[in-house]
Structure 1
């Protein structure tokens, strides 16, 4: 995919021939965008910009294509370039606001909305977007203010004994307040039939999983016996029915069929509640044979924007949404398999000399910071070129094969596995086989033409084997159904 470039304030005059050619390219790029081929659209919009770097429309169109591929940093750069080309081009401000919102920079987004509302004082759409963004900023300021006054966590204030199980409830039941395999099987069938787990059991699972994760280190070491199979899955993103397909293809988790799910369990897909309670239940049942890493979407800002918070509020309560945030803060950040393979959601670091001990020493009980090794574990991406570059997402960094090689040598590792990025076959092997991406949400958001995949290996040789699969049918509930309404309008 082409990288973002800025519109130079002083550019050579563009010939009529180049302008005409750029417009033809734009029509082709627009069709690619409509057909949801976003990466191809980016490349063709880049050709437009090469032909005519003075046209704000090309930058704005490439910006929204980058938004669809989650390259928020590039999207922000292109939106700013559109504004440099034409300071009165409203769509440039809208695109920049969307990029800021995607990065959780709501106050900067509000400034753009405010400017547009001044440019278009009689435009109801501009006014409503400003009002909605202002509400978000005020809500977040209020939440931060009251957070400083809280003496107890949500977990400490819950009284499960006061929650009654209604006679009409016919869903899964915890046995002696414990998760059993029978409970999980009943839970999955309940979810397949679009029914709910009772809130008392849901809260109980969250309290138990929080207590468990509090005892775990930031870096978990996993031993895989020589003859045992081990499975690593990438992003699930609320695609419950595809999660069920993984278990259909690869078997249910068990002591002889262990799994690691590598972050981004929720958001975007509209069955995130179903995914997370299934995964947490397996973790409680099989604490030594089922593992979960934190992803960048296990955070309050992402959950507020991309749907999980809204989904929990719709299916349960706001209080439960807050409890999920407390639980996510305790998720481990990485796993080391047989002291040979490091698995993290995002990637490697902006500095050399980071060791496994440094990862293990991270104080993770917090929201992901905007920089540092915790941030980079959750947000970074590989690049084909040697060296490092600013992140296309605007958070973390991009790292090349030389960076990967030095990290592996320093820590005596064979390769790394990460997730975080859509891949056409659900996986990608890069950096001379030393950096593997696995992504397990096929037909991502019902808009991408990708397969999902999972990796299996055995303890004897740790050689990765890949299984790709297509998406399965799901109920007619669109992705992002619970996402922030303003973000849906902007993207």
Structure 2
């Protein structure tokens, strides 16, 4: 029995090395079923869960390993990483402290402990200075008199976005060049106003001879975004796109993706749609790199303006009265309807918080079991096929389309066809061997699924701009 369990663990390790995290978890779970007294089985599964961003499950596994062996340092390490990842710094700090005490020579753990202490202090500071109606970062920004130097070698942007400017921008970004700050400010401010004036749930139809493409998370993987456009066609008045949140963070071209998507929104405001994701939020941007990237490539004001524009984004898009598209998923209460989403005043609440409709729309995940369950992430909740069925029937929907999670094939159809996950960041974070996917919808409203592979990109690692030690944790 013990030998069989070790053999299964080794198969899990092989899958882990191949960056196939779901298969690794399957084998570790089988090993645990045979022998639930071996702490390393739990910490191995915790690490695979961390790779899948199932931080709640990782915390549970690490806790179990600590119960079996309170001196098992790796378990404290894993639990600290998982708690840090979901911004529970005050929980993580206790485990980092244990690791440092038990293994004082571990420099990485020491750096994490110090970074965590800083995060706890910063969280307290930000809470203390929070102002409900803080002035906009646009105040005092004199765009009209901002000079674009003669030495600037890019296309010029006047009052209206042009295809010529976008084409030039795509090439600039490919070559590692930046936009002039004036144009960055101009684009963000224009899109902030556009999306602010859209409904919380945008409602759109696909006209004959038109097409709408739904994309999931792109997470700063700019070169993979261009691959979608290369394979599937660039946005136009006849070919709309909907990007379903998580444009930024993790990947190291988040500024480039956000600016390109915003430029297309300016050019085709009625055919190009953007839903907010859980990474279009301040606390995630501070942790996962976007804030650091904005400061490194432009300045802090650019980040603050992006933050304001993110909080103005719609939370959902209803396609042809058939498909509700939102980043996370469904709700803790069966009574919620499309009308409740329509009525939600997202402008009253800039950040999603720990509870409520906005948080659930950005954070929840499907589960295979009926009913509702605690979130594997440690944030939000999970909803079963019966919850999805009732919601779709009550609201006259064919399905819910959501993103928010890696799928090894780029997409997955679950809950008897009523819950569809689409994820558009292939080889996610350079560390998962997943495909990307996108969905084409024409006027017959049939879903056409398309998979694609990652393309090469310049040698800049994911999380390159995360300034809190998260990048060093990526490899743990």
The TM-score normalised by the length of structure 1 is: 0.91
The 8 Å contact of residues 111 and 469 in structure 2, kept in 1 or not, is answered as no
SS at match of 1:336: strand
- Asked if 1 retains the 8 angstrom alpha-carbon contact of 2:412 and 2:422, the reply is yes
Choose the corresponding residue for 1:422, options 390, 406, 427: 406
What is aligned with 1:12? none
Cα separation, 1, equivalents of 2:53 and 2:320: 33
| Deviation string, structure 1 residues 86-132 (Cα, Å, up to 9, x no partner) | 22222211111111111111111112222333444565444332211
Alignment partner for residue 171 of structure 1, among 154, 179, 182? 154
Residue 379 of structure 2 is matched in structure 1 by: 395
* Structure 1 residue 337 corresponds to structure 2 residue 319: yes
For the residues of structure 2 that align with 1:483 and 1:22, how far apart are their CA atoms?
38
Partner of 2:337: 355
- Which one of the candidate residues 159, 173, 184 is aligned to 2:142? 159
Measure, in 2, the Cα distance between the counterparts of 1:409 and 1:380: 20
Q: 1:482 aligns with which of 455, 465, 476?
A: 465
Q: Provide the C-alpha distance between the structure 1 equivalents of 2:214 and 2:57, rounded to a whole number of angstroms.
A: 30
Whether the 8 Å contact between 2:463 and 2:470 is mirrored in structure 1 is no
Give the CA deviation at 1:362.
2.1
Q: Give matches, 1:103-142, under 5 Å.
A: 103-120=86-103, 124-142=107-125
For 1:143 and 1:452, how far apart are their aligned partners in 2?
36
**Which whole-Å CA distance do the structure 1 matches of 2:351 and 2:89 have between them?**
16
C-alpha distance in 1, partners of 2:356/2:56? Answer: 17
Residue 286 of structure 1 deviates from its aligned partner by 0.9
Change (3 A) 1:196 1:455: same
Change (3 A) 1:468 1:77: same
Distance 1:401 1:123 in 2: 45
**Equivalent position SS for 1:230:** strand
Distance 2:97 2:300 in 1: 29
Moved more, 442-451 or 271-280: 442-451
Q: Does 1:265 align with 2:247?
A: yes
Kept in 1, the 8 Å contact 2:243–2:274? The answer is: yes
The corresponding residue for 2:274 is: 292
One of 319, 330, 352 as aligned partner of 1:368: 352
Q: Secondary structure at the match of 1:160?
A: coil
Q: 1:151 to 1:425 in 2, by over 3 A?
A: closer
Secondary structure of the residue aligned to 1:471 is coil
Task: Tell me the secondary structure at the aligned position of residue 239 of structure 2.
Answer: coil
Distance 1:238 1:123, change over 3 A: closer
1:266–1:308 CA contact under 8 A, matched in 2: yes
User: In the alignment, is residue 96 of structure 1 matched against residue 79 of structure 2?
Assistant: yes
Q: Could you tell me how far 1:21 is from its partner in structure 2?
A: 3.5
1:25 positional shift:
3.1
CA apart distance, 1:385: 2.8
* SS of aligned partner of 1:231: strand
Instruction: State the shift of 1:70 in Å.
Output: 0.9
Matched, 1:407 2:391: yes
Decide which of 45, 49, 52 is 2:28's aligned counterpart: 45
Residue deviations 1:153-187 (CA, integer Å, cap 9, x gap): 21224333464322221123212x32111111111
Say which is worse superposed, 319-328 or 480-489, in terms of deviation: 480-489
- 1:75–1:484 Cα change, 3 Å: farther
CA contact (8 A) 1:172 1:190 kept: no
Q: 1:380 to 1:469 in 2, by over 3 A?
A: same
Q: 1:248 aligns with which of 230, 239, 250?
A: 230
Please, which moves more after superposition, 476-485 or 155-164?
155-164
TM-score calculated relative to the size of structure 2:
0.94
Change (3 A) 1:234 1:19: same
Unaligned residue ranges in structure 2 (runs of 5+): none
- Superposition deviation, residue 150 in structure 1: 7.1
Q: Is the 8 A contact 1:221 1:335 kept in 2?
A: yes
Question: Paired residue for 1:196?
Answer: 178
Aligned match of 1:448:
432
CA deviation after TM superposition for structure 1 residue 315, in Å: 0.7
For each residue in 1:323-349, what CA deviation from the matched residue of structure 2 results, as whole angstroms up to 9, or x when unmatched? 221111111000111222111111111
Tell me which residue corresponds to 1:231: 213
Partner residue of 1:383? 367
Q: CA deviation at 1:489?
A: 2.8
Instruction: Identify the range of structure 1 (120-129 vs 161-170) with the bigger mean alpha-carbon deviation.
Output: 120-129
Number of equivalenced pairs: 472
State the distance in 2 between where 1:146 and 1:421 align. 33
Aligned to 1:144: 127
User: Relative to 1, partners in 2 of residues 1:138 and 1:160: Cα closer, same or farther, differing over 3 Å?
Assistant: farther
Seen in structure 2, the aligned counterparts of structure 1 residues 213 and 51 have a Cα distance that, compared at 3 Å, is same
Q: CA RMSD in A?
A: 1.9
**Contact 1:172/1:197 (CA < 8 Å) preserved in 2?**
no
Report the CA distance shift for 1:339/1:36 in structure 2 as closer, same or farther (over 3 A): same
For the pair 1:213 / 2:218, whether they are aligned, the reply is no
Q: Any conservation in 1 of the 2:252–2:462 contact (CA below 8 Å)?
A: yes
